[in-house]
Structure 1
Amino acid sequence: MVLLNGAGGMLRCPIILAFTVLLLATHWVGAQPARKYSTRNKAAISAYEQAIEFYQRGQNGEAINALYRAQQADDRFVESYLLLAQLQENRHDFPAAFEANARAIAIDSTVYLKALLDAARTGFYSGKYPECEAYAIRYLALPGEREDRRRMAQLILESSRYARWALSHPVDINPEPLGEGVNTRLDEYFPSISGDGLRLSFTRLIDKGSKRQLTPLQEDIYLAKRSSTTAPWETAHDLGTPVTSDQNEGAQSMDSDAKRMYFTRCSGPCRLYYTDRQPNGRWGEPQVLPSPINLKGVSSKQPSISPDGRTLYFASNRKGGYGGYDIWCSTQDESGTWAAPVNLGPNINTFADEQSPFIHFDNHTLYFASNGHPGLGDLDLFVARRSRNDTAWGSPRNLGFPINTPSTDMGLIVSADGQEAYYASNRNTSNGLDIYRFSLPDTLSPTPVSYLRGIVEDASNGTPLAAHCQLVDLLSGEEIMQPVASDDGLFDVCLPVGRQYALFATFKGYLDQSVHFDLQNVHQAETPQEQHIRLIPIRKGAKLTLNNVFFDTDSDVLQPASHIELDRWVALLKAHPNLKVRVAGHTDNVGDKSYNLDLSRRRAHSVTAYLQSKGIASGRLQSVGYGMERPVATNDTPSGRAKNRRTECEIVGI
């Protein structure tokens, strides 16, 4: 919750980090009628007007001393307490500001009605929750007050009530700073971690001691590495050119295999860029994302890319939102075009600011910072979830104390396995913003994600193939992502555990191939679960098993999950109109031989019937059943019998 006359109470407000300032502590000097005071004491008035002159020259200390003199001359001089409250709040001395507001109200609350709201706010930041709530309730009872101030009074009231509960029900965590390899005397924030957990990038606010000609708000991206998920972080280094420039860069987000990075660059309004990792390991020339993501005169910043690399979440102050900065998302289509951004809606966004979104590797859990939902301080961290195949986000949950504190807490990210969280906080005020880590409680964790490595190669000679792949949830039919293998035939992705997947691979001149697998356990980057796909060139006699064609037990009825693979065969046959195929059904040796032969024939026919229903001519299709006659594995084990129960497709004409 941001209630201050500045950027979240921070001493410095970097451009990328900056958010909308809610001008609620209206300057008393500008709000008061000219020369009409609650006192006639000339000494008090003289000291007060001296205080105004000091204030206008930026000499706040002298102004405060002058106000004390005014109060010595007349301790019921309301205006002097109101201005003192403003000056003390500017110095972030909230207890002193609260006492001054409370004194002004006690003398005459009608002089400046908004003092009730100011007292509620400064009482909240002083931890005086009962007093805060009493003043907020009094303000809300006033007729005719501005709606934006009424919303803020309601937020203060709800935040105070939440803070009292949260402080008495702490979350069992212990945030620890990352250490000297990452944290320095400068500000570090906006961490981002790769799917394998071995690369941590973050934003650092650079001071003027650098050799470059920098502004006081210079932000750059740094990268730290470690050899394993249990090893300490090595000393972080600037990414260097061409990513680093004399502009502000930061708030970066790497995709799951750390091959592409999205980041913010600011010179005036902030814009979103991306850069790709080159074969030599360095980052390439940054490319600005086109409209409608970046718009003229509008800031778009703090990106977070989904695990499939196709949906980009970011904060923006564009029109059509609910407050200052809202969280938006844009989806990329097959041609690489980004769709018009969609606002995440009123469950997430408020009349204030939401920022630093992080979409977890499970693609269903969103963490973000907000000053518009009830919380403990300047910016609190929240988590929201959505169910599978659902685009609507549920109500956000405050992560609680001590993850959130009365200080600034922001930029939370979570490791792929859901075990570790990283975020920035200025809870140690002597060192500014630092990056902290903690073990995430189960109640706040996303779905655990496992590391999967795909290996695609030519079945005949083992040549690596840079194939386009597709991962699908077999039960829901939901496409999870479309990874692309590199030139060495490898791709690495993170997938939610506890689900069944189909993996398809496509490469020009080859038959599409698929595998299916259960992902029940978490595999780390050092020991990923591997799936090999061996593609067969399109030629007469080529034969492959349809690994993702399923039937009900003792039935020739295709299960709906089979349609995913068969539809790919429909596309292949339509793309190659001269291809002719034979579908063969096979069984294991359990049961009657004649029954199995008939079942295999009926299942093969079900496949060709499906292909015909999708527009493939019957003259291009054959079906045959072999029953138990042609096993490819032993029938003495369950795994062997499972391999023998199969449907094959053979190219018989080309």
Structure 2
Amino acid sequence: MRRLLLLLIVLASTSLSAQLGEIALGNYCGDDHASASRQIQKGLQALNKGDYPNAQVYIGAALRQNEADQHALYLRGEWAMRTGKFPIAEGSWKRLVKRCPGYKPDLLFFIATLAIEAGRPEEAEGYLEQWFLRDDRELGYEKEAENLLAEINLKETFFANPVPFDPKPARNLNTRWDEYLAALTPDGSSIYFTRRSRKKNKYDGPGAQLRNVEEFSIAATIGVHQGMPSFEEGTALESPFNTQYNEGGPSITADNRFMVFTICERNPKTRVQNCDLYYTTFEYGYWNSIRPMPEEVNRPDSWESQPSISPNGDVLYFTSDRKGGYGGLDLYSSTRDALGNWGTPENLGPAVNTKKNEKSPFIHPDSESLYFASDGHPGMGGYDLFKIQIPQRNALWGKPMNLGYPINTESDEIGLMVTLDGQKAYFASNKINQSNGWDIYFFDLYEAVQPEEVVLVKGQLKIDQFASDDSPKVILKNSVTGESQQLQLSNDDNSFAAVVKKEEAEQVLLQVEAKKAAFSAAPLRLVPNAAIDGAFSNEILVELDHKELESGEAYPIPHILFETASDRLDAQSELLIASFAEYLLGAPSLRVQIQGHTDNVGDAGKNLDLSQRRAKRVAETIINHGISANRITHRGYGESRPVATNDSEAGRAQNRRTVFVVTAL
């Protein structure tokens, strides 16, 4: 698009068009034409006046009279450029220069620009070479033309501008056997991969021979030392894996409880191998039985593989050769609705898919950064790795960014996985240490192709045994945009997980919704990273409670924080209190008393005063959000009512608290 904008500026300021709207016809080749002069003049005048609808009518009439009319072809291209119909402009001008290269020689330059923007660099190079041979070309374009040729010759450009790339083997994970198809869990606790070794297949009986066996495997992350992650060697996964099917290439949601992967089977009759997507869920410490994705995703007449699922499990990206695509292999996405149903997959469109092949998608937990492999976009040769931003809120697709050399080479690069913090990327290769076959490597991802910074929110909802509503919800809400989503609760322990952009984290609130439920919510607070000075952790832990309201009972609001020895609230506490006020608006008969408590550090009298001031500040803030003052009272108790020992920091932290007591239901 940058080149198209430049081209429009050029059209408006050079000899091709002296001023915007001031269009001049070129030099007609030959004298055997029958130009529709009247329609041409009317079309020219309409264009110069900016009357594009009538210009289209006149130009069309001229072309119907003579479809090869050079003036009409030129004007049609001018009209198309000014109305954003760039393919029409390119097509019209191509026909014109083929018939009459000297009509306006600089059309060769403009066609080349349009061809590059459309992703056809080799074709563009041919037009630029023709343009450079013209003595009557506009010399003012030469610098831009030279830049375009430099972009076309991507190999030379990439070789001259290598990007940082220092791959290192995944410590302990790589063995003398082959390891590939790696997928790190979003929280980085484990890595799934395929290991191919030579062994006897236990299902082949006692006389089995040694053969290559692929096993779907897992290894736990041991830790990170001097920036180098290390893993266990890993073991093959137990049932339901590695039994009947040949699984691989998994993708896992942020809560580590939903996995989708590929299974390929050979038809015994046709001997043709077909791949489809399957999934399993994790409950009560085990992976459940393997099930195929629904027919909306898997098709009997096409190949579906290489899945990548969004962190919240609501969007699935995958590769398919189904009919109706742009090329051989295309990338698709399917969205899951609130009832858990997967929708009809949609092709990601021409910004991603080309006439050739795109595969191996990886959607980063930021849900916006999509990495993939392509042999159709300009690159080093073979398959190159690219990054593109998923458009948000009806925005338009951008242009894929080639990750550059030496990440990409003249050989094929297929498959990339980026860590939650966006700092490192993992891949498998048999080229770095050829004597050892396929191994898993990682490298530091340079800043220009890193994803958005995100944080992983993990938590658990503790449900009181006497709560009557057994279907509580945890809602994640952005207080600025108003966007909200219901988080999935696990069946076994009511845990949940979500990924949030780091820049938006402190405007996000988690809240429990249930019938007759006491208020329970938590704002997100970034936690300092102890290992990196000035940085924040990429993980936030949250605990929520589901209790039923009862008259006279006290319910803590544990996430209200004050400055030390002060009644001044921080921004997240203000957000939390605003949410509590909204909760009260939904229960107009509810009356509460806000109570403040402290630990025993310092003078008891000062602690009593501090607790009273803090309770008053919270009550006043609630009232300021529209709650009637006769529904809210406040009282401070100082250190007189501890709920834990004051002999430890953990106990004192529990005693420094704000609670609300139900005075009337």
Under a length normalisation based on structure 2, what TM-score does the superposition of the two structures give? Answer: 0.59
2:647 paired with 1:652: no
Q: Aligned partner of 1:176: which letter? A: K
Q: Give secondary structure in 2 for the equivalent of 1:226.
A: strand
Per-residue displacement from partner, 1:301-330 (whole Å, max 9, x unpaired)? 111111112211111222343222222222
Paired-residue identity, %: 29
Contact in 2 for aligned 1:206/1:217 (Cα 8 Å): yes
Aligned length, in residue pairs: 472
Q: Structure 1 residues 560, 534: closer, same or farther in 2, change over 3 A?
A: closer
After superposition, the Cα gap between the structure-2 partners of 1:414 and 1:467, relative to the gap in structure 1 and judged at 3 Å, is farther
Question: Deviations along 1:414-464, whole A, 9 cap, x unmatched?
Answer: 1112222101234345555432110112222112333433243357999xx
Query: Do the aligned partners of 2:527 and 2:540 also contact (CA within 8 Å) in 1?
Result: no
Question: Does the 8 Å CA contact 1:544/1:649 hold for their aligned counterparts?
Answer: yes
Q: In the TM superposition, what is the alpha-carbon distance from 1:258 to its structure 2 partner? A: 2.0
CA–CA distance in structure 1, aligned partners of residues 377 and 175 of structure 2: 29
| TM-superposition CA deviations, 1:2-44 (whole Å, max 9, x none) | xxxxxxxxxxxxxxxxxxxxxxxxxxxxxxxxxxxxxxxxxxx
**Separation in 1 of the partners of 2:618 and 2:516?**
33
2:293 to 289, 294, 311: 289
- Contact in 2 for aligned 1:407/1:427 (Cα 8 Å): no
Name the residue aligned to 1:225. 220
The alpha-carbon distance between structure 1 residues 415 and 368, as it changes in their structure 2 partners (threshold 3 A), is: same
- Map of 2:257 onto structure 1: 259
CA contact (8 A) 1:332 1:339 kept: yes
Q: Which amino acid aligns with 1:254?
A: I
Question: Does the alignment pair 1:313 with 2:317?
Answer: yes
Distance (Å, rounded) in 2 between the aligned partners of 1:161 and 1:255: 40
Q: Which residue of 2 aligns with 1:450?
A: 455
The CA deviation string for residues 596-640 of structure 1, in whole angstroms up to 9 with x for no partner, is: 99996896485469xxxxxxxxxxxx953548x668899xxxxxx
The one-letter code sitting in structure 2 at the alignment partner of 1:368 is: F
Distance in 1, matches of 2:212 and 2:488, equals 38
State the one-letter code of the partner of 1:197.
G
Partner in structure 1 of residue 188 of structure 2: 197
Structure 2 residue ranges without an equivalent (≥5): 1-120, 131-148, 266-272, 561-567, 598-607, 641-654
**1:332·1:338 contact (CA, 8 Å) conserved in 2?**
yes
- Residue matched to 1:372: 376
> Amino acid of the residue matched to residue 591 of structure 2?
R
Change (3 A) 1:377 1:358: same
Aligned-pair CA distance for 1:583: 6.8
Contact 1:201 1:224 in 2 (8 A): yes
Could you tell me how far apart the structure 1 residues matched to 2:578 and 2:376 are?
46
CA contact (8 A) 2:150 2:157 kept: no
CA distance in 2, matches of 1:354, 1:537: 52
Residue 170 of structure 1 and its aligned partner are, at CA, apart by: 1.0
**3-state SS in 2 of match to 1:200:** strand
State the secondary structure of the residue aligned to 2:414.
strand
Partners of 2:124 and 2:393 lie apart in 1 by: 41
Shift in alpha-carbon separation, 1:480–1:418, aligned structure 2, 3 A: farther
1:25 maps to what in 2? none
Tell me, yes or no, if the aligned pair for 1:601 and 1:626 is still in contact at 8 Å.
Answer: no
Preserved CA contact (<8 Å) 1:271 1:299: yes
Counterpart amino acid of residue 548 in structure 2: P
Q: Which of 258, 276, 279 is matched with 2:281 structurally?
A: 276
| Correspondences of 1:483-498 after superposition (within 5 Å) | 483-484=488-489, 487-488=492-493, 490-498=495-503
Q: 1:510 aligns with which of 512, 517, 526?
A: 517
CA-based RMSD: 5.0
Q: Can you list the C-alpha shifts for 1:359-410, whole angstroms capped at 9, x where unaligned?
A: 1122221111111111113211111224664565432211111211122212
In the alignment, which residue of structure 2 is the partner of 1:72?
none
Q: Is the 8 A contact 1:204 1:219 kept in 2?
A: yes
Deviation at 1:347, TM superposition (A): 1.6
Question: Which deviations, in whole Å up to 9, do the C-alpha atoms of 1:188-239 show, x marking residues without a partner?
Answer: 4332111221211123456797555699997542222222244522223222
Shift of 1:257: 3.0
For residues 354 and 382 of structure 2, the distance between their equivalents in structure 1, rounded to whole angstroms, comes to 15
Task: Note closer, same or farther for the CA distance 1:336–1:565 as it changes in structure 2 (3 Å cut).
Answer: farther
Residues 197 and 138 of structure 1: is their aligned pair in 2 closer, same or farther, counting only changes over 3 Å?
same
Indicate conservation of the 8 Å contact 1:450/1:521, yes or no.
no
8 Å CA contact retained: 1:605, 1:623: no
Partner of 1:540: 551
Aligned counterpart, 2:133:
none
Alignment partners' CA distance in 2, 1:630 and 1:168: 69
AA in 2 matched with 1:535: H
Distance of aligned partners of 1:349 and 1:205 in 2 relative to their CA distance in 1, 3 Å threshold: farther
Question: Counterparts of 2:596 and 2:499 in 1: how far apart (Å)?
Answer: 34
Question: What secondary structure, in the 3-state scheme, does the structure 2 residue paired with 1:269 have?
Answer: strand
CA distance in 1, matches of 2:277, 2:414: 19
Query: Structure 1 residues 346 and 566, CA, compared in 2 at 3 Å: closer, same or farther?
Result: farther
Rounded Cα–Cα distance in structure 2 between residues aligned with 1:225 and 1:645: 38
Out of 162, 165, 169, which is 2:157 matched to? 165
Relative contact order (C-alpha < 8 Å, sep 6+): which is higher?
Answer: 1
Structure 2 CA distance, aligned partners of 1:200 and 1:159? 38
Aligned AA (1:396): P
2:246 match = 248
Q: Is the 8 Å Cα contact of residues 159 and 374 (structure 1) preserved in structure 2?
A: no
| Residue 33 (structure 1) aligns with | none
Alpha-carbon separation, structure 2, partners of 1:470 and 1:632: 33
Q: Against the structure 1 CA distance between its residues 159 and 282, is the aligned structure 2 distance closer, same or farther, given a 3 Å change threshold? A: farther
Residues 584, 626 of structure 1: 8 Å contact kept: yes
Per the alignment, do residues 526 and 489 of structure 1 end up closer, same or farther by CA in structure 2, a change over 3 Å counting? farther
Which residue of 1 is the match for residue 118 of structure 2?
A: none
**SS in structure 1 opposite 2:525?**
strand
> Counterpart of 2:590?
581
Give TM-score scaled by structure 1 length.
Answer: 0.60
Whole-angstrom CA distance in 2 between matches of 1:216 and 1:297: 31
8 Å contact kept, 1:450–1:494: yes
Are the counterparts in 2 of residues 193 and 201 from structure 1 also a CA contact under 8 Å?
yes
Contact 2:177 2:197 in 1 (8 A): no
- Aligned-residue offset at 1:529: 3.3
Report if the CA contact (8 A) 1:325-1:354 is conserved: yes
* Equivalent-residue separation in structure 1 for 2:394 and 2:576 (angstroms): 19
Once the two structures are overlaid, the 10-residue window that deviates more, 304-313 or 471-480, is: 471-480
Alpha-carbon distance change, 217 to 475 in structure 1, aligned in 2, over 3 angstroms: farther
Cα offsets for 1:332-351 (capped at 9, x unmatched): 12211112222222222222
Distance 1:527 1:290, change over 3 A: closer
Cα gap change, 1:379 to 1:434, in 2 (>3 Å): farther
**1: distance between equivalents of 2:218 and 2:619?**
57
Q: Which amino acid aligns with 2:221?
A: R
| 2:451 maps to amino acid | P
Distance 1:460 1:316, change over 3 A: closer
Structure 1: unaligned runs, 5 residues or longer: 1-132, 143-156, 574-578, 610-621, 635-642
In structure 1, distance between residues paired with 2:382 and 2:122: 21
Counterpart contact for 1:378–1:407, Cα < 8 Å:
yes
Separation (CA, whole Å) in 2 of partners of 1:491 and 1:523? 25
SS at 2:153 equivalent: helix
**Residue 482 of structure 2, aligned match among 461, 477, 483:** 477
Mapped partners of 2:436, 2:453: distance in 1: 33
Instruction: Give distance in 2, aligned partners of 1:520 and 1:390.
Output: 33
Distance 1:539 1:432 in 2: 66
Q: Could you say what secondary structure the match of 1:167 adopts?
A: helix
